[in-house]
Structure 1
Amino acid sequence: MDKLNAMQAFARVVEAGTFTRAAESLDLPKTAVTRLIQSLEDHLKVKLLNRTTRRVSVTPDGAAYYERVTRLLSDIEELEGSVSHARATPKGRIRVDVASSVARLLLIPALPEFYARHPDIQIDLGVSDRPVDLIGDNVDCVVRGGEITDQSLVARRIGDWGYGCCASPDYIRRHGTPQHPLDLESDQHHVVSYFSTRTGKRFPFDYSKNGQRYEIYGHYQVSVNDGNAYMTAGLTGLGVIQAPYFMIKPHIDAGELVPFLCDWESDPLPLYVVYPPNRHLSTKLRVFVDWIAELFDRHTQWQKQLIASCDAKSGTTAQTAPLVANAAKQAVLSAA
């Protein structure tokens, strides 16, 4: 029996929940994984897994063994990395999952810069707008916006996304520029509305300054539940939008969107890199996380410059609003 491979197979089956998913993540036939687990159980003379036709569950002995095995496998990976000078030249494959808007507008365009530093790292990039099962899908890390509610996960905060209010030049010509958040409640203006896929509820815009706070629903001609559709509606002139600066940046640069109400702060959205529990932070993953934190920081600096530029034009100073988890913003970011 190849004891190390058997341990790795056992850990993957526990994490994935099925032999089929474990075999796919290990690039092995399902029969090979089954044989490895059977050999391990025969060697230990202990039943590690309870098998059913649909799901695999871990026995009490298996749970205790899994906890020790994951630490051992992490130590082995770290040892191999130090011996092969992986700290100087990290190499290997990592699986990362990000929202499609982050992949399209930030991550993928910047990847040549990452590979100039780390040419030997392979990235399996999952681009999805659905919640990811970090353990079952064998994902090393995900980049997500919003507060982390699952306390079993390990998270590193890498910044905050600011949100800006803008509209197309055509919309501004037809309706004028809003001077106050309450202008968006008037008959003169309308917004592009965003609604929850799950409940159908519309989400408001939010504005804060000098202790004042407004949540604006406004009138709308179109309401959507997809971030790409939301941006397209704004670019088409169908109404005012409130979106992350990284999403509106290229359109502002191109003159396709005009920012306003910059002296009113919108609640920022915290950003995290999230890891599964018991997942070793290898050198290759650590350099990727450090790089993506640097990348996001550069865009944070850009959004500060944009706000300052907008404030200078209007002769105002932006205020700092309290950080509030905003379901609508998390939805737009993850579904964009």
Structure 2
Amino acid sequence: MDQLSAMRVFTRVVETGNFSKAAHSLKMPKTTVTTAVQALEAHLATKLLNRTTRKVVVTTDGALYYERAARILSELDELDGSLSSSQAQPSGKVRVALSGAFADRIIMPALCDFHTRYPKIQLEFDIGDRIVDYVAENIDCALRAGTPTDQSLVARKVADLELRTYASPIYLERMGFPRHPRDLENGHFGVGYMKAYEGRVFPLQFRKEDEEVEVRLDYVISVNEFRSYMAAAVAGIGVAQAIAFTVRDYVDRGELVEILPDWPRDPVPLYIVYPQTRHLSNKVRVFVDWLAKKLNEANQCEAQLKSAAPKAEA
């Protein structure tokens, strides 16, 4: 028996909750996973898992063994990474969960730069704003706006995002330019945006010096995906708030106009998150560092464009 391999299989079964998911994430037959766990139990002369038809339950001995095994495997991966990083380029697949806004506006235009720096890394993107099972889906890290509340995740803040308010020329011709956020309450509509894992439409928020205003608009449509959110705003369905650099192309083409420019929303923190049980390998670390740099560059560029541009007039 390859004990190290069996330990990796066992920890993945515990983390995913069943043999089928573990086999899928490890890209090996379910029978191989089952055999590895059985061999490990025979070697240790103790039962690590109680099987049912739908899931596995860790025994007391299994929980103790998992805790030590996960720590050993993490330290081993870290040791391998620290040695290999000084001798060779990081390599392998990195699976990242993120929204289409960041994929389209930040990553894709700069992807050739990343590939030139790290030609042996393959990036796999899970695009959307949904709840992901990091372990079962083998997600290495995710890019998430807002302060994380899941205590099982390690979070690294990479940027503060500036949100502004926009509407299409068609909409503004029909409804007029608001002068104050409260003007939006007089017959205006919003494009509703909701996160899949929260299930509620976010209100529009504004700040000017010490004054804060929150507006909940009626909406014709609500979505949980950036491209559809922007398409609805461009079509004139309602007012939308978005991260400034993600809508720069729409503004430059005249498809969206910033409104209430003196009333920005408080910056939203952006985090890279990953499971505590998953070691941040060298290949993931270089991607995170590269992405953080690109996000900061985009923020700085938008700030420079903003300071140089004239304010929109009604």
Question: TM > 0.5 between the two?
Answer: yes
Please name the residue that 1:116 is paired with: 116
Task: After superposing the two structures, state which structure 1 stretch, 54-63 or 106-115, moved more.
Answer: 106-115
Deviations 1:79-115 (A, max 9, x none): 3334444565111222221123322333233222211
After the TM superposition, which residues 162-201 of structure 1 pair with which residues of structure 2 at under 5 Å, given as runs? 162-187=162-187, 189-194=188-193
Please name the residue that 1:148 is paired with: 148
Please name the residue that 2:221 is paired with: 223
Please name the residue that 2:285 is paired with: 286
Deviations 1:107-166 (A, max 9, x none): 233222211110001222222332111123222111111221112211101112221111
Q: Which amino acid aligns with 1:154?
A: V
Residue 239 of structure 1, CA deviation: 2.6
> What is the DSSP-based 3-state SS (H/G/I as helix, E as strand, rest coil) of the residue aligned with 1:231?
helix
Residue 198 of structure 1, CA deviation: 8.7
After the TM superposition, which residues 175-324 of structure 1 pair with which residues of structure 2 at under 5 Å, given as runs? 175-187=175-187, 189-194=188-193, 202-218=201-217, 220=219, 222-227=220-225, 228-309=227-308, 313=311
TM-score by length of 2: 0.90
Q: Distance between the aligned counterparts of 1:289 and 1:200, measured in 2?
A: 28
> What is the DSSP-based 3-state SS (H/G/I as helix, E as strand, rest coil) of the residue aligned with 1:136?
coil
Deviations 1:262-302 (A, max 9, x none): 11121222111111012111111110110111111112213
Q: Which amino acid aligns with 2:213?
A: Y
Task: After superposing the two structures, state which structure 1 stretch, 300-309 or 49-58, moved more.
Answer: 300-309
Change (3 A) 1:86 1:78: farther
> What is the DSSP-based 3-state SS (H/G/I as helix, E as strand, rest coil) of the residue aligned with 1:97?
strand
Please name the residue that 1:327 is paired with: none
CA contact (8 A) 1:195 1:223 kept: no
> What is the DSSP-based 3-state SS (H/G/I as helix, E as strand, rest coil) of the residue aligned with 1:267?
strand
Q: Distance between the aligned counterparts of 1:82 and 1:178, measured in 2?
A: 56
Please name the residue that 1:161 is paired with: 161
CA contact (8 A) 1:16 1:138 kept: no
**Backbone CA RMSD of aligned residues:** 2.4
Change (3 A) 1:297 1:230: same
Residue 247 of structure 1, CA deviation: 2.9
Any gaps of 5 or more consecutive residues in structure 2? none
Deviations 1:39-84 (A, max 9, x none): 1110011111111110112112111111221222223223333444
Please name the residue that 2:90 is paired with: 90
Q: Distance between the aligned counterparts of 1:137 and 1:169, measured in 2?
A: 42
Q: Distance between the aligned counterparts of 2:194 and 2:91, measured in 1?
A: 43
Aligned pairs, number: 312
Q: Distance between the aligned counterparts of 2:138 and 2:195, measured in 1?
A: 29
After the TM superposition, which residues 11-22 of structure 1 pair with which residues of structure 2 at under 5 Å, given as runs? 11-22=11-22
Residue 194 of structure 1, CA deviation: 4.2
> What is the DSSP-based 3-state SS (H/G/I as helix, E as strand, rest coil) of the residue aligned with 1:162?
strand
Q: Which amino acid aligns with 2:66?
A: Y
Q: Distance between the aligned counterparts of 1:184 and 1:155, measured in 2?
A: 36
CA contact (8 A) 1:12 1:22 kept: yes
Identity, in percent, stands at: 47
CA contact (8 A) 2:129 2:224 kept: no
Q: Which amino acid aligns with 1:284?
A: K
Q: Distance between the aligned counterparts of 1:27 and 1:73, measured in 2?
A: 19
Any gaps of 5 or more consecutive residues in structure 1? 316-336
